[in-house]
Amino acid sequence: MYKRRTELLQEVVGMAAKRPDIMSVQTEAARDGNYTVDMLVVNLEPSGLSTSHSNKVRLLLDFGEHGREFISSEVGLRFLRTLTNDTAFEAAAGGARRAARLRRILDLCVFKILPMENARGRELVESGKLCERKNGRGVDTNRNWGVDWGVKEKDYDPNEEYPGTAPHSEPEVQIIMRQAKALKPHVWLNVHSGMYALFTPYDHKPYVPEGEAEQASLRIMRRINELSCQGKCVIGSGGKSVGYLAHGTATDYMYDVLKVPLAFTWEIYGDESAGFDDCFRMFNPVTRPLFEETVKSWVSALLQLVELLPTHPATAPLLKAAAADAAPAGAAPAVQRRQGLDAEEPRPGAEGQQLEEGKGASGQEGRADSEAAAAAAAAAAGPGAAGAKEGAVAEGQQQQQQQQGGTLPRPLRAHSSEGRLRDPQMPAQRLASTHWLVPAVVMAVALGGLVWGRQQHKAAG
């Protein structure tokens, strides 16, 4: 089910050999002392490889930053298969019509994809150290970046998040830094497992930065949550939503220093029933059906991210042609388009299966058309017009939820952001797990009083 490190990377190289028109690979190397890293970097340009990307949306996607999170690299591998195989692409898109629309956007995009950032750490996991998250010499590369580097929380655990001897000391970080500075991406995405979440900056501060672009990013994450995460993903600042601050993360550096406008961390799987020491099961699906469901869902989410790029002010200007093409003449009125956006949508990539009773491929394409029309209308109206009220309402709902029920569903706090292990017996987590007791007791007392009153009324009558 899971490919070993060498098998996965060899398959990626093989894809590039079959599609040299749109895909190339190179191995980037970096060294610090005796520690050497070779990282496979994929260049993918769906309209054909070129040397100038200034007029395209540029995306830098990072998979497999932590060794034990096998499912991350599997999603990256499947995404590459999807983009390099026409049949797989149409199946993942859910039909020819949506596939054509996605291609029009993809033709205006260029990708750099890191299918397995932490190959040295992955090698340790494959040797039997199933709980290893750090790189080949014991550094958490997602704590090695320069924003707030080295700051340690009270519950800091060096076994999980040792940040290294200095910012950017690690060869893995140095390679990614070079790629990011050369590409100047509009989109950074770091894919992890350990829970279900769609995080935006910040990780080291307990809030989402203010701004029109930041609200647009949140709206995109909310839509992906509806379509691919079945509404169960935590959304917003990692520093606020997880319940602890993370310092020196890649996403915060991409956003704060390299000024990447769409910077995200996705957590794509977490088994809340796994024992604290059952690391592989905690971070990776262990049955074939669950594996396939997870991979398909998150490849679908990646396609949805692409499809929603015309709605973001940082990328909309480069996608005007695709956005205009996506909105057919005589598009449905705004109310109908809104209904199309709010309706539950079958997951693209069902490959002809009906995911819900009575919802087939034709219905899926119709809903996708409504979504595309609304996205194009939002882009045409200007970045400030789309969903400002919706964003404010959603933010209020999120704050209310956090006030009422803690920051995360209780079991997932043991897994936490970017796959960090948390002892499920920590006092703060035991406290968070009891937040439902007070309203439950009040309700029980009220119901008991109601039943007693009715009995008294009957007795009196």
Q: What φ, ψ does residue 232 adopt, rounded to 5°?
A: -95, -5
Which of 74, 117, 214, 267 is an active site residue?
Answer: 267
* Residue reference for tokens 């140095």: 174
End-to-end CA distance of the chain: 69
Evaluate whether 61 touches 189 at the Cβ level (below 8 Å).
Answer: yes
Quote the CA–CA distance of 5 and 14 in Å, as a whole number.
Answer: 14
C-beta of residue 418 within 8 angstroms of C-beta of residue 246: yes
- In terms of DSSP H, where are the helices of 229-319? 238-241, 250-256, 279-283, 288-308
Q: How far is CA 350 from the centre of its chain?
A: 20
Query: Within 13 A of 81's CA, how many CA atoms are on the CB side?
Result: 19
- Strands 23-32, 234-237: parallel, antiparallel or unpaired by DSSP? unpaired
Structure token pair of residue 322 = 């695709």
Strand (E) or helix (H) holding 237: strand 234-237
User: Among residues 431, 354, 383, 327, which one has the least CA distance to residue 214?
Assistant: 383
d(CA 13, CA 17): 6
Tell me if residue 267 is catalytic: yes
- Which DSSP letter does residue 418 get? G
Structural Rg of the chain based on CA atoms? 23
Catalytic center residues: 267
